[in-house]
Every structure is written in structure tokens, then in C-alpha cells.
């Protein structure tokens, strides 16, 4: 069973005639291939700036930048099992979920290992008077030991001092320079607005992705991949075609932070939002699929290999993202220029997070990441969320610019500006947490 791109997604529950009429109105194909810009503008659905499209066409003429050029595509049904069974109840989902996980592990992200043989957590720095007394700084060294090898990385936390109960946490998988998450606060970046998060009553944390797997085709195996594979990991061209790469390694590190949170009574491990931007957003979605302890999973402009539908072939394609040969499995290379042959798509990745919370953020000028394709992935994951009675997000409901859509436990926005993680994004994500964790 497949879902054509112009097919409306209905919940699997009875609806009134009035509601049915409303849904039918929403389920036009104005958000799909061949969309009429005038119709989109009239319905207040986001549409890209024509000048931005023209710029992208000039700079990268070999890629698709217009909806009318998006190919026809069919999306696999996440609720149709490999045996042909239609999943109708939440208790039937785990078996189907395991099938989808295995597809992504085998063809895209790789098989990441479980916890190491031994783990250790050492607080190496603590300052209860950080941020002029508003927060406590805590830096924790997380050490893993496996097969006689050892690997360590640091996790930085700021905890709000005016809370007496365990603090919910926003954890950033930082794919940028360490200055962006400066624990001294001498450098303050909007990429990680720690002061604003503390003011909202949340704790904020960060890990450096490069500490887990260097973001480099030749050195990515140095880190936790070597921890498990030893010197054989250096021979990455001879690794198994479904071996894990850097994206999975970054997510593995986030899971080790969750292990630590189980030991810290001042941080609320039941309310952790995992956040990543760009390639970090790809990793955060996969980490949230692999580890169900994250209660909110946030992708900020993750694009191809993250939230965006691959089969649209809009902006960054599979071939384009696979130029980073260390991110995915060797098997994923088989789908370069063959998106139609994918046995899954990214709406199924988002479905793996259900029934937990997920939020997808896009940016107006970031057409490379395909904002519409990111939204459509969230919408097409709706049938899985409907198993728990959650209202569907229809493909025709993409919100306008700077107008977030909250349909608990899911959220989406397309922000003004370009490819970045900004305080505006953070405030939308904290707004969602306010709703979910009140």
C-alpha cells in the first residue's frame, strides 16, 4: 500500500460530515507538485520567495527548486507491515516499528551498538553562581569502556537555580564550534541561548558531536566507532555496508547523556528535549528513533537525510548528501539518483518517534533543506500518531511564515531568514515544551 503525494491523510476514526468537508477542503494538492503559487498565497500556506528561488537556480542549476518540477512519487504506508497486515491498534505498532527501524539501520543510518561494557560519570567542574547566580554550571565527563578500550567526552549543563524540583532539559547536539556552547559565557551565541532557556525555567545542555565522531570522511572512525571496532575501524572503506557512521555515533553519545541523567536527581530525565541543527538535526531524529527515552525530539532545518522527504528530490538530493561519505551506510549510496526505489521515506523516520513529541523547524530561505518536504514528512506521519487518537496534520495545512503550528504532541514552523539555529527557533521549541510539560 502506498500513499500518492496528493492523497489526503485521514485519521482512522469516524468524523462528522462537517469535519469531513473541512478535511476535504484542506486536502487539495496545493502543497504538492504543480502547486499554484496564487492558490498557496490565498490559503496562507508558506511559499518560497521567487527571488530566493531564482538565486538558487543560478547558483545550483542542477537541482529542483520549483514545485512544478518535483517528480510524482508514492510514499510507503508506515502502517502496512511487511506481511501485508494493516496496523490498527497501538499494541500492534511495536512489531511494525521494529521492521521500519531495521530498514533504516540496514539501508541508511547503520546498526549502532548498545551501551558499552562499563560507563563512568565524573563531575569535573561545578559553579553554583553561574550567570550572575541564575544558574548552576555542571560539566560532566562521560567515560565508556569496551573491550579494553576507553573513550571520554564532556557534557555541559546549566541548571536554573530558582527551581526546587528536577529541571526539564534541552540537550543540543552541537555540530558547530565549541564557542557556541561556551561554559564560561564569555562568548554568547544565539545558536545556544543558554540565558534565555534558564530564564524560561529549563535546564540546557550540550555535547560536541566531533568528540564522538569527527565530522570528516577520513577521521570519523576516531572516537566511539573505534571504541567498538578497534583498529579495524580505520579501514572504513572495508567496513560492512550497513556499518554505522557519524550520524549514528553522535546519537549514541546523546544516549550516554541519558544514562547519566538517570544518576542526577536535579535533572528531569523524563522530560528531555533532544535538539539538533542541520546535520545535527539528522542525527537528533535518528537518535530519537533509536532511544525512546527522549520525550521531545527536535529537528532544526535537517533537510535531506533528516526531516525532508527524499522522494521529492527537491533541493539537496540523496546524491548531494552522500558526498559526506561518513554520515550514512555504504548501502545508502545505492539510492543516489534512485530515490523512487527507497523502501521507506523520512515520514517513517518521524513515525518512529510516535507517540512521543516531535517538532520540525524550517527556514524561509533554506530551500536546500526543502521546508515543504520537511512539513510533509510530519504530515504523512499522522496515521501512526492517530493510533493514539491524535488529530492528523493534513498536507494542506502547512502554516505561514513565522506562524508555528502546534498540534500536540507535534509542532512545526518555518522561520524568516536562512540556515541557522536562532533564538526565535528556541522560543518556538520552548513554547512547545510549555504546552507538553505543563
Residue 10 Cα distances to 15, 19, 134, 377, 396, angstroms: 9, 11, 47, 15, 12
- Residue 236's pLDDT band, with cuts at 50, 70 and 90, is low
Q: What is the pLDDT of residue 107?
A: 98
Return the number of other C-beta atoms located less than 10 Å from residue 301's C-beta. Answer: 29
Q: What is the pLDDT of residues 16-61, one digit of tens each?
A: 333 333 333 333 333 344 444 444 444 579 999 999 999 999 999 9
Q: What is the pLDDT of residues 161-188, one digit of tens each?
A: 999 999 999 999 999 999 999 999 999 9
Cα–Cα dist 16/160, whole Å: 47
DSSP secondary structure letter of residue 416: S
Burial class (CB in 10 A: 0-12, 13-18, 19+), 417: middle
What's the start-to-end Cα distance of the chain, in Å?
39
Contact indicator for 290, 240 with CB cutoff of 8 Å: no
Q: What is the pLDDT of residue 44?
A: 74
Q: What number is the average pLDDT over the span 324-353?
A: 98
3-state secondary structure 251-286: HHHHHHHHHHHCCCCCEEEEEEEEEEECHHHHHHHH
Give φ, ψ of 75 to 5 degrees.
Answer: -105, 130
- pLDDT value at 12 more than 90: no
Cα–Cα dist 403/414, whole Å: 7
Cα–Cα dist 248/90, whole Å: 27
Grid cell locating 347: 515520514
Q: What is the pLDDT of residue 56?
A: 98
Q: What DSSP letter does each residue of 366-403 carry, written as one string?
A: -GGG-HHHHHHHHHHTHHHHGGGTPPPPPGGG---TT-
Q: What is the pLDDT of residue 390?
A: 98
- Residue 237's pLDDT band, with cuts at 50, 70 and 90, is low
**Which single residue is written with the C-alpha cell 573491550?**
147
- pLDDT value at 355 more than 50: yes
- pLDDT value at 11 more than 50: no
Q: What is the pLDDT of residues 260-282, one digit of tens each?
A: 999 999 999 999 999 999 999 99
- pLDDT value at 371 more than 50: yes
Q: What is the pLDDT of residues 378-409, one digit of tens each?
A: 999 999 999 999 999 999 999 999 999 999 99
Q: What is the pLDDT of residues 281-326, one digit of tens each?
A: 999 999 999 999 999 999 999 999 999 999 999 999 999 999 999 9
pLDDT above 70 covers what percent of the chain?
A: 89
Contact indicator for 285, 309 with CB cutoff of 8 Å: no
Cα–Cα dist 327/347, whole Å: 20
Q: What is the pLDDT of residues 96-152, one digit of tens each?
A: 999 999 999 999 999 999 999 999 999 999 999 999 999 999 999 999 999 999 999
- pLDDT value at 7 more than 50: no
List beta partners, residue 243: 111
Q: What number is the average pLDDT over the span 87-94?
A: 98
Q: What is the pLDDT of residue 238?
A: 81
Q: What global pTM score does this model have?
A: 0.91
Mean pLDDT of the chain: 91
- pLDDT value at 205 more than 50: yes
Contact indicator for 386, 378 with CB cutoff of 8 Å: no
Q: Could you tell me the maximum CA-CA distance found in the chain, to the nearest angstrom?
A: 65
Q: What is the pLDDT of residue 43?
A: 52
Query: Active-site positions?
Result: 278, 419
- Residue 232's pLDDT band, with cuts at 50, 70 and 90, is confident
Question: Distance of alpha carbon 96 from its chain centroid, rounded?
Answer: 21
**Domains (ranges, CATH) in the chain?**
109-437 (3.40.50.1820)
Amino acid at each position: 500500500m502506498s500513499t500518492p503525494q496528493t492523497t489526503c491523510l485521514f485519521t482512522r476514526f469516524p468524523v462528522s460530515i462537517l469535519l469531513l468537508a473541512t478535511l476535504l477542503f484542506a486536502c487539495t494538492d496545493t502543497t504538492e507538485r504543480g502547486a499554484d503559487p496564487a492558490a498557496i498565497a490565498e490559503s496562507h500556506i508558506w511559499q518560497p520567495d521567487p527571488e530566493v528561488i531564482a538565486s538558487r537556480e543560478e547558483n545550483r542549476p542542477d537541482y529542483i527548486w520549483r514545485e512544478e518540477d518535483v517528480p510524482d512519487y508514492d510514499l510507503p504506508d508506515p502502517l502496512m507491515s511487511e506481511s501485508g497486515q494493516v496496523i490498527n491498534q497501538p499494541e500492534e505498532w511495536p512489531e511494525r516499528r521494529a521492521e521500519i527501524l531495521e530498514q533504516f539501520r540496514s539501508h541508511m543510518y547503520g546498526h549502532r551498538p548498545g551501551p558499552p561494557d562499563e560507563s563512568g560519570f565524573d563531575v569535573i567542574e561545578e559553579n553554583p553562581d553561574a550567570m550572575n547566580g541564575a544558574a548552576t554550571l555542571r560539566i560532566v565527563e562521560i567515560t565508556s569502556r569496551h573491550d579494553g578500550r576507553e573513550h571520554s567526552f564532556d557534557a555541559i549543563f546549566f541548571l536554573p537555580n530558582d527551581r526546587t524540583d528536577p529541571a526539564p532539559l534541552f540537550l543540543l547536539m552541537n555540530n558547530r564550534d565549541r564557542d557556541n556552547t561556551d561554559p564560561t559565557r564569555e562568548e554568547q551565541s544565539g545558536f545556544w541561548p543558554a540565558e534565555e532557556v534558564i530564564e524560561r525555567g529549563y535546564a540546557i545542555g550540550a555535547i560536541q558531536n566531533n568528540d564522538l565522531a569527527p565530522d570528516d570522511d577520513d577521521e570519523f572512525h576516531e572516537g566511539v566507532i573505534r571504541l567498538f571496532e578497534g583498529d579495524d575501524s580505520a579501514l572504513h572503506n572495508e567496513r560492512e555496508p550497513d556499518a554505522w557512521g557519524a550520524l549514528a555515533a553522535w546519537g549514541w553519545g546523546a544516549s550516554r547523556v541519558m544514562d547519566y541523567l538517570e544518576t542526577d536527581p536535579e535533572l528531569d530525565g523524563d522530560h528531555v528535549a533532544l535538539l539538533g541543527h542541520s546535520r545535527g538535526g539528522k542525527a537528533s531524529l535518528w537518535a530519537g528513533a533509536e532511544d525512546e527515552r527522549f520525550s521531545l525530539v527536535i529537528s532544526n532545518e535537517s533537510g535531506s537525510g533528516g526531516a525532508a522527504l527524499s522522494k521529492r528530490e527537491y533541493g539537496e538530493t540523496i546524491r548531494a548528501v552522500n558526498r559526506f561519505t561518513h554520515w550514512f551506510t555504504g548501502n545508502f549510496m545505492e539510492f543516489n539518483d534512485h530515490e523512487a526505489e527507497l523502501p521507506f521515506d523520512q515520514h517513517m523516520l518521524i513515525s518512529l518517534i510516535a507517540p512521543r513529541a516531535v517538532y520540525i523547524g524550517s527556514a524561509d530561505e533554506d530551500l536546500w533543506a526543502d521546508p515543504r518536504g520537511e512539513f510533509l514528512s510530519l504530515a504523512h506521519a499522522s496515521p501512526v500518531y492517530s493510533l493514539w487518537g491524535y488529530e492528523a496534520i493534513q498536507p494542506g495545512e502547512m502554516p505561514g511564515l513565522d506562524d508555528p503550528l502546534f498540534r500536540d504532541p507535534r509542532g512545526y514552523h518555518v522561520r524568516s531568514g536562512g540556515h541557522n539555529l536562532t533564538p526565535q527557533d528556541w522560543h518556538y521549541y520552548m513554547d512547545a515544551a510549555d504546552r507538553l510539560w505543563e
